[in-house]
Amino acid sequence: MLHTPSTASAEAPARRMLTLGINASFHDSAAALMLDGVVVAAAEEERFTRIKHGKRPVPFTAWELPYNAIDFCLKEAGATLGDLAHVAYSFDPHHFIGERAPDQRFTLPLRPSDFERGHWENPWDPLFAAYVLNAPRQLTDGVPHHLKKRFTGVKHDKAPYRWHFVPHHLCHQASAFLASPFASCAVMTLDGRGEHASTCYGRYRDDRYEALGEVRVPHSLGLLYEQITAHLGFLHSSDEYKVMALAALGTPRYAGLLREHVQVFDDGRYEIRPLDLAQAFGPRRVSGSKMTQEQLDLAASLQEVLEDTVLQLARWLRETSGEDHLTMAGGVALNCVMNARLRDAGIFKRVWVQPAAGDAGTALGAALWVDARERRAEAAPLPGTPSLGTAATASLASQAPALAAAADAGAEVEGPLTGEKGSFSLAPRRWFMEHAYLGPAFDDDEVEALLRWAQLDYRKSENVAQDTARLLADNKVIGWFQGRMEFGPRALGARSLLASPVDPAMQARLNELKDREDFRPVAPAINREDMAEWFEPAEANDGESPFMLFVYSVKPGKTDRIPSALHTDRTARVQTVDSATNPVFHDLLAAVGRETGVPVLVNTSFNVRGEPIVGTPKAAIEAFFSTPLDALVIGSFILEKPVRRGT
């Protein structure tokens, strides 16, 4: 059942085909680059600009492209913008606009919020659509001055590459099934919204993708979770994971009320009826104020209704698709408690979640989809194989024939569109996502040059794993900066804060260090071969949890040994580490096991509240000296703070 790169293709490609994927329409701006079917690089813009999520998902920011992430991807491939064959953008403005601009014109009042929305869902939608539609121009004309080196010599109307607008949820779907280790699978994506869809289903089999259906906004489990996140005083489209953590502290006494507003049908569809949250649950919580038991219970109720609903959808998809393996993406798929319940329900034999499941992952999905379609188009077509985007192109032509010209003469639309079903032929895969280490790396020469320039005291270690293990055994909190940066929101042992889970006070200490809420749990990392001794069900998903996207129970007799790695319900969001994908982190965990008898580390992201995970040695050093971290291990170098004597 497993798909391996060595069997994906018998022959090397005849020419170099670089495909750039871009996500920029909402938030979590990102870029990904593929070379002839293999992912070369992927990164989120926030790691370069130091702005959390890159930007907020509002219409005024839709023009902002992830130039820094694009520049990194091009640098990693030794390429420039002019070397690209394809650019894939993870939103289709033509489909979003539909028939609402037949003469290429929008009406945008000076104060849109003061006017009725008309035939738009939001009065600002025309501005948003215009920004996205002009992304091909913005890519070449809006490059920041300091990044122009790799973008020069390309004009939007004479670009050497073909531009593809790919539907948002198709990008989520492709990021799951084309990155998974499965040769065939069912696909379910759930997030807030795309052009029109909020939930999509598909099947991948025999190098073909079949769209099986979708749910359209305003019906959206993602938007429901966002709305209650905001009602609980947190930032929507950002803090939903906090509500998931809070759910363990409450009881689901409002689940019945919420279920009255969520109706699931027997064809994979669902409807969410309007709910006045203030009337049902009291006034909106003021950010930073104390949580009431009622608010904790609302979080628990929301989590239970989400899980129950997704289980119903999964059962329908299992029967409809005929597949016994499931892949998932979309922001809702980052809910590790929901994922674990789905895993344990036995509906599917294995469940795989793409680690950059939020909108950042649509950059990867756009690149994967276009690459697979274009490599397939270069091969001899199979009898009865539909051409690329045939139905989508026809739909575009009937809806707004002038829009393609308005965007760019070379812009293309990919199918299937929302609501469209059909089978699409794809090239055999040459890659799958064994790990998420796709971002920048810095060698020892670069790191040491910075340390010397900054006049910092450091020492070079001949055995980083053993020396760091001794610090951790001494209850030190370590900033860990090694190898290529992770793609996605989880720190997976490349840009991590590490500590021993043995001290019961360590969770509170880490939350204080990161200036975050007291209820926030931290996650354990453990080598894959040690998993069965500490957590259960260890055999689930073939004993793998490399992306920290499922919760597990701690085995009896082990909870007292790792108290700081557990949530209040005695579960843990486990990361398994493999020597083949992160040998340095694997060696460290083994060394910690030898030093302490506990081969487990607390692993949380290397950042503080409100900031992205550190992306460069400079950012890591700044975080080290502006927080009470005890040591920084960066490449082969160790920095320690002197022991303070008195106050």
pLDDT tens track for 185-232: 999 999 998 999 999 999 999 999 999 999 999 999 999 999 999 999
Residue 295 has pLDDT above 60, yes or no: yes
CATH number belonging to domain 444-640: 3.90.870.20
Average pLDDT rounded to a whole number, residues 508-517 = 89
pLDDT tens digits for 459-488? 999 999 999 999 999 999 999 999 999 999
Confidence check: pLDDT of 2 > 80: no
| pLDDT the model gives residue 328 | 98
Report domain 5-178+359-425's class.
Answer: alpha beta
* Fold agreement (5-178+359-425, 444-640): no
10/238: higher pLDDT: 238
Residue 8: per-residue pLDDT? 41
pLDDT confidence of residue 645: 65
Write down the pLDDT at residue 421.
Answer: 63
Q: How far is CA 152 from CA 46, 147, 193, in A?
A: 24, 9, 35
pLDDT band at 646 (very low <50, low <70, confident <90, very high): low
Percent of the chain with pLDDT over 70: 91
571-580: string of b/e by CB count within 10 Å (b at 16+)? bbbbbbbbee
Sign for the CA dihedral angle at 559, 564, 569, 574 comes to: negative
pLDDT digit string, tens, across residues 43-102: 999 999 998 888 888 888 888 999 999 999 999 999 999 999 999 999 999 888 888 887
Please tell me the class of the 185-353 domain. alpha beta
Would you state the pLDDT for residue 237?
A: 74
Read off φ and ψ for residue 50, nearest 5 degrees.
65, 25
The span from the CA of 215 to the CA of 238, in Å, is 23
Any idea where the domains of the chain sit in the sequence? 5-178+359-425, 185-353, 444-640
Is it the case that residue 108 has pLDDT exceeding 90? no
Residue 412 has pLDDT above 80, yes or no: no
Least confident of 121-130, 256-265, 304-313: 121-130
pLDDT in tens, 281-290: 999 999 889 9
Q: Which of 90, 4, 84, 81 is nearest to 36 (CA)?
A: 84
Confidence (pLDDT) at 523: 94
pLDDT at residue 521, rounded to an integer: 81
How far apart CA 429 and CA 39 sit, in angstroms, is 11
- Percentage of the chain modeled with pLDDT above 90: 74
Name the residue with higher pLDDT: 109 or 175.
Answer: 175
**From the DSSP assignment, how many helices (H) and strands (E) are in the chain?**
21, 25
Q: Distance of alpha carbon 167 from its chain centroid, rounded?
A: 17
Q: What is the pLDDT of residue 638?
A: 98
Q: Rounded mean pLDDT of the chain? A: 89
Q: Which helix (H) or strand (E) holds 304?
A: helix 293-321
Distance of CA 297 to the CA centre of its chain: 28
What gap in Å lies between CA 599 and CA 587, rounded to an integer? 11
**In this model, does residue 512 exceed pLDDT 80?**
yes
